[in-house]
Amino acid sequence: MANVTVIGAQWGDEGKGKIVDWLASRADVVARFQGGHNAGHTLVVGDQTYKLSLLPSGIVRGTLSVIGNGVVLDPWALRAEVAKLAGQGVAVTPETLHIADTCPLILPFHRDLDALREDASGQGKIGTTRRGIGPAYEDKVGRRAIRVCDLAHLGDLGPQIDRLCAHHDALLAGFGEPPIDRGRLERDLAEIADFVLGFARPVWLTLQEARARGDRILFEGAQGVLLDVDHGTYPFVTSSNTIAGTAAGGTGMGPAAAGFVLGIVKAYTTRVGAGPFPTELDDAVGQRLGERGREFGTVTGRKRRCGWFDAVLVRQSCAVAGVTGIALTKLDVLDGLEEIRICTGYRLGGRSYDHLPAHARDQAAVEPVYEAMEGWAESTAGARSWAQLPAQAIKYIRRVEELIRCPVALVSTSPEREDTILVRDPFAD
């Protein structure tokens, strides 16, 4: 049996939560490998809805869940999420959750700096969630980070805090803010240490042992390929690599462990926050997609921008992320539209493009080239087989496959886990 790596192949919010939950019911281990609590996954299990930000999606089913070293961890957000799940009847224990002992921590001043910089950026705002993700990754790369394992050696943190203060106090002074309160930081870390350390493990070893047993491992990505710090719409991106290859470095597994790479793709396109969006619709159709798709961010609650399916961007995402097959979600949102459009290329300055240019100005200026298709009046909501889909909906799916040069493995027709058409089983490859 193959492992499976799940990533978003657009700008995030593609419906990964439902698909990961569907796969997690058949996996032995679920591992997060990048991002932080800026991610948002909504799971619907029976009559219960779970909204996760940091915890892997397998946690609600008691599947062994791993937070890898590629994640930046806000320990206070973790505690709040664990408590929230406990209130919904889900117990998170050291037996069901392992956290990499090398995870960098998101600290209170990271959140403060994130907000200060965004507020001061004027027209340069990038739409950060203000949760400290970027500053925490900066400290990791700058070798200043406090990591989970440091919580077991609080008495030795002095030199590390010196490095943090030398960097951040200067930044805070530039904003007219007081320096880091070292005493408060030390007290905060001491207060949270025992809670986090209860889950701390060398997760690379956990995963190696699982692989040796022949366990099926599901690697769970956050955000989407178009938010990748290298391959996304820079600078309107996240602070980590969101492509499937990050599953290796973000968990301590070799690249061969990634297995089947499943790219999650909406049947249309959405984006939260600032940045280019070639197929965005500021009309009644865009409004309809947002209302029918309930397009509000799981983490921020922000309204998502909506537009037609962009085959150029998804083809690019599938290529750079090594996607094996896609899961097409929210097909039912397109029900009832007389005409559906798909972006098949771009025009810019009299030139045709079959990919998104690298520069932000060019990305914002490209004009989409559309192909129009007849819509369908029948409902696809809740369909669980090809036979239950209208012929025109099947035609739309097949055209998407052709344009993105990647096969459809799953089709999702509602938020319910079982309302899924299985075309190709990722775990069987």
User: Which amino acid, one-letter code, is at 285?
Assistant: V
Is there a contact between 428 and 4 (Cβ–Cβ < 8 Å)? no
Q: At what angle do helices 108-119 and 182-197 cross, to 10 degrees?
A: 120
Whether 425 sits among the annotated catalytic residues: the reply is no
Is there a contact between 21 and 57 (Cβ–Cβ < 8 Å)? yes
Which residue in 37, 41, 110, 231 is the catalytic one?
Answer: 41
C-alpha dist (Å) from residue 174 to 125, 178, 278? 18, 10, 37
Q: How far apart are CA 115 and CA 158, in angstroms?
A: 26
Reference 118, options 391, 291, 300; nearest CA is 300
Strand, coil or helix: 30: strand
C-alpha dist (Å) from residue 349 to 25, 159, 226, 368, 369? 50, 54, 23, 12, 13
Q: How far apart are CA 66 and CA 369, in angstroms?
A: 43
Whether 41 sits among the annotated catalytic residues: the reply is yes
User: What is the pairing mode between strands 41-45 and 64-67?
Assistant: unpaired
The pair of structure tokens assigned to 363 is 């990305």
DSSP-assigned letters across all residues of 12-29: S-SSHHHHHHHHHTT-SE
Q: At what angle do helices 391-404 and 311-321 cross, to 10 degrees?
A: 50
Which residue in 13, 139, 150, 419 is the catalytic one?
Answer: 13
Region at 156 (left for phi over 0; alpha for psi -120 to 50; beta for the rest): alpha
Q: Which positions ≥6 away from 320 have C-beta within 8 Å?
A: 225, 228, 231, 243
* Active-site amino acid positions: 13, 41
